[in-house]
Amino acid sequence: MLAAGQALAHDDTVKTYPVGQRDPGPHDPIREGENPDIVNPPATDSGTLPNLRYSFSDSHIRKGSGGWTRQVTQRELGISTTIAGVDMRLNAGGIRELHWHKEAEWAYMLYGNARVTAFDTKGGWFVDDIGPGDIWYFPSGIPHSIQGLGPDGCEFLLAFDSGGFDEDSTFLLSDWFKHVPPEILAKNFQVPVATFANLPSPANEYIFAGNVPGSLSSDSIKGSMKSDIAFTHHMLGQDPIKAPGGTVRITDSSNFPVSKTISAALVEVLPGGMRELHWHPNNDEWQYYLEGEGRMGVFASSGQARTFDYRAGDVGYVPFAMGHYIENTGNSPLRFLELFKSDYYADISLNQWLANTPPELVKQHLQLDDNFMKALNLQKNPLVK
């Protein structure tokens, strides 16, 4: 208990404050310690930019008998207009019920194992078992399901090609059945009306507990046609682009043909490394941080720039064409996903652009010497150290 007249003490030794400055009023040292470049921004920061960071840890969790889900959409991160993200956990046997969306769905497996199913427009059936580092893509309107396998289910990141997406707007199988007159269901399926007397509540079916399925072959349906579309892809199976500061794996419609509206890169930055100064000429960038700690500096033109700090579970965003870098500020690898609402991945390297520009032109712009020009690289190094 505080004695009468006694003030609550504040820690004035928080290292993130500039020398000679402090916050004597109410503040949150824990949050400030997680965001040192907001509390004490680099001198190069200038002007006003919207927030470009949001943590899934600040998102509401919706629970079901088979797992849980939480989302970061434009409602949580206002600048995120092109892509919305969902973090979903399914227990062993847990089922994300049969459903479809107006938006296309892209996913990255974070943990465990899952079985996914889909049904294409030609009447083809698809089923596959996937694990960490695998991705899937279901075009808009394609019905699908996801189920956690043993021993401990799974967790995965979902990305939808609209920032205004809402998990609650999904077209659910159970929801549709509950909103069709029983006699219409009976006529459609050629069964007695009594068949539909005990339909489950959609509120209980969204993510519900189920039995762990058997082998893939046990889920085969006699007489069904196999889809000729590969809805899944092994991203970690790709040979990475290797650079001095880490590795990059790129997945877009060139090596995952079904993925027509979302392209992605999996980036690993080694300690002391940096995703080089660059920008993307095709769309906004939506990021998900998988592990480690880093900071991103964003240049928005017109003298505006701002720096943000990120850690595992955070979402980052870079509006179209804004220059930026991402630096590993921790002691372990920094891993994150870059996602774009586009069928192809593209970036422009500042270093490579200047190296391919007439030297005298560059020198007159920046008043730099020949040593700088010689240091430029004609080849792109997406990660430097």
Per-residue pLDDT in tens (0 to 9) along the chain, 385 residues: 333 333 333 344 444 556 556 788 898 989 999 999 999 999 999 999 999 999 999 999 999 999 999 999 999 999 999 999 999 999 999 999 999 999 999 999 999 999 999 999 999 999 999 999 999 999 999 999 999 999 999 999 999 999 999 988 899 999 999 999 999 999 999 999 999 999 998 877 899 999 999 999 888 888 999 999 999 999 999 999 999 999 999 999 999 999 999 999 999 999 999 999 999 999 999 999 999 999 999 999 999 999 999 999 999 999 999 999 999 999 999 999 999 999 999 999 999 999 999 999 999 999 999 999 999 999 999 999 9
Contacts of 212 (CB under 8 A, 6+ apart): 92, 93, 148, 149, 150
User: Where does CATH 2.60.120.10 sit in the chain?
Assistant: 58-233, 239-384
Quote the CA–CA distance of 315 and 306 in Å, as a whole number: 16
Quote the CA–CA distance of 190 and 188 in Å, as a whole number: 6
Contact by Cβ (8 Å): 151, 94: no
Quote the CA–CA distance of 258 and 135 in Å, as a whole number: 12
Quote the CA–CA distance of 364 and 125 in Å, as a whole number: 61
Helix (H, G, I), strand (E, B) or coil at 149: coil
Task: From the candidates 97, 276, 338, 360, give the one annotated as an active-site residue.
Answer: 338
Task: Say which CATH topology domain 239-384 has.
Answer: Jelly Rolls (2.60.120)
Q: Which of 106, 105, 112, 73 is nearest to 89 (CA)?
A: 112
Task: Tell me the C-alpha to C-alpha distance, in Å, between residue 129 and each of 139, 142, 148, 239.
Answer: 19, 18, 10, 22
Preceding peptide of 18 cis, ω within 30°: no
Q: Is the dihedral of CA 288, 242, 278, 345 positive or negative?
A: negative
Type of residue found at 189: F
- The verdict on whether 97 is a catalytic residue reads no
Quote the CA–CA distance of 286 and 184 in Å, as a whole number: 43
- What's 126's DSSP letter? E
pLDDT at 22: 74
Task: Say which CATH topology domain 58-233 has.
Answer: Jelly Rolls (2.60.120)
* Helices and strands (H, E) in the chain, number of each type: 8, 27
Find the radius of gyration of the CA atoms of the chain.
25
Q: What region, left, alpha or beta, does residue 74 occupy, with left being phi > 0 and alpha being psi -120 to 50 degrees? A: alpha
Strands 293-301 and 323-328: antiparallel
pLDDT at 135: 98
Quote the CA–CA distance of 276 and 382 in Å, as a whole number: 6
What the block records as the tokens of 210 is: 């189920």
Q: Which of 316, 347, 318 is nearest to 334 (CA)?
A: 316
What the block records as the tokens of 313 is: 């579970």
The H or E element containing residue 173 is helix 173-178
Contact by Cβ (8 Å): 73, 286: no
pLDDT at 70: 98
Q: What is the pTM of this model?
A: 0.92
Strand partners, 55: 314
Task: Tell me the C-alpha to C-alpha distance, in Å, between residue 223 and each of 68, 129, 148, 226, 228.
Answer: 35, 21, 26, 9, 16
